Amino acid sequence: MTTADIGRLDGLTYPTGMAFMAGQYMPMSEARISVLDWGLLHSDVTYDTVHVWNGKFFRLDLHLARFRRSLAKLRLHVSLSDDEIRDVLVQCVKRSGLRNAYVEMLCTRGISPTFSRDPREAINQFVAFAVPYGSVANARQLKEGLHLHVIDTVRRIPPESVDPQIKNYHWLDLVTALFEGYEAGAETVVIKDTGGNIAEGPGFNIFIVRQGELFTPEHGVLHGITRRTVFDLAATLSIPAHACDMSETELRGADEIFITSTAGGIMPVTKLNGTSIGDGKPGPLTRALFDAYWAKHDDPAWSLTVDYDAP
């Protein structure tokens, strides 16, 4: 995101883009939720994000399906059908004019008309928006690799407390870990689950390569759409891929490491807690998956083209 992508209003800065809420489209600078919304007061909200690259949504149907599953698990209700949600997201992108965009759909518990503590009395609210595309890794990091830090003093919220398959905004564990990582000179972090195994990072899953095979944590992590895409790509490339427990020792002994997110795709890691991974450059298997991932953005079976000229 550049300064050209930022708008200003009342001394504050906002990304350019378009939002949809309360049945209306509006500039991002005008999108607001009440301070009484359960989404703000209790983080009682679910969301999903999809990106648009070169005017094409990538794997939108998978994101919609996961959003619908999250809504059901949290007993939230969006009156729009999947086709109508898809149309709203497309309109947000078209009206913003963005060719590369980060697009989010979310539903908050909403506001109780009487400020009741009974969640059944709150009126659920659907919101969507499109802003300029942003990545976990910048251009240099995508080329040279990220410096990752394993944080041992913070544990990921256990699935017995918050189901990680419901995409959520419970990030205090991740934010706390990020500050520790920054203080240690890292660019991002990964934390462990309550059993001491590697879990995930702020908005991303993690993979290692060992002897030509892929491994990624299974327990207590969000099963990301890009994570799934890696499994799909690995199958086409005849690369064995496994979801299983991963120890810090296995992470440190990896031949290659990469992270995955809708915000960035497949991103190489070349340094872990100050030590180079392999030869300190993105590895061959990571590069192969990176190339295959971006090539798939032109596959009609995996993408939806935005018609910017249609009414």
Q: Where are the domains of the chain?
A: 3-132, 139-297
Q: Which amino acid, one-letter code, is at 305?
A: T
Residue 3: its pLDDT value, please? 46
Q: How big is the chain by its Cα radius of gyration, in Å?
A: 20
Query: What is the percent of the chain where pLDDT is above 70?
Result: 96
Residue 206: its pLDDT value, please? 98
Give the architecture (CATH level 2) of 3-132: 2-Layer Sandwich (3.30)
- Residue labelled with tokens 């990091």: 141
Q: Identical fold at 3-132 and 139-297?
A: no
Residue 7: its pLDDT value, please? 55
pLDDT bucket at 310, cuts 50 / 70 / 90: confident
Q: Which amino acid, one-letter code, is at 158?
A: P
- CATH fold of 139-297 reads D-amino Acid Aminotransferase; Chain A, domain 2 (3.20.10)
- pLDDT tens-digit series, residues 65-89: 999 999 999 999 999 999 999 999 9
Q: Which residues pair with 216 in a beta bridge?
A: 243
- pLDDT tens-digit series, residues 192-215: 999 999 999 999 999 999 999 999
9 pLDDT above the threshold of 70: no
Q: Which amino acid, one-letter code, is at 217?
A: P
Give the other-Cβ count within 10 Å of 16's Cβ.
Answer: 18
* SS3 state at 18: strand
Q: Which amino acid, one-letter code, is at 74?
A: L
Q: In the chain, which ranges are E strands?
A: 6-9, 12-15, 18-21, 24-27, 45-53, 56-58, 101-111, 123-132, 146-155, 188-192, 205-210, 213-216, 241-243, 256-261, 265-272, 275-276, 303-305
Report if pTM > 0.95.
no
- Let me know: does 118 contact 144? Beta carbons within 8 Å: no
Structure token digits, residue 252: 């440190």
- pLDDT tens-digit series, residues 260-286: 999 999 999 999 999 999 999 999 999
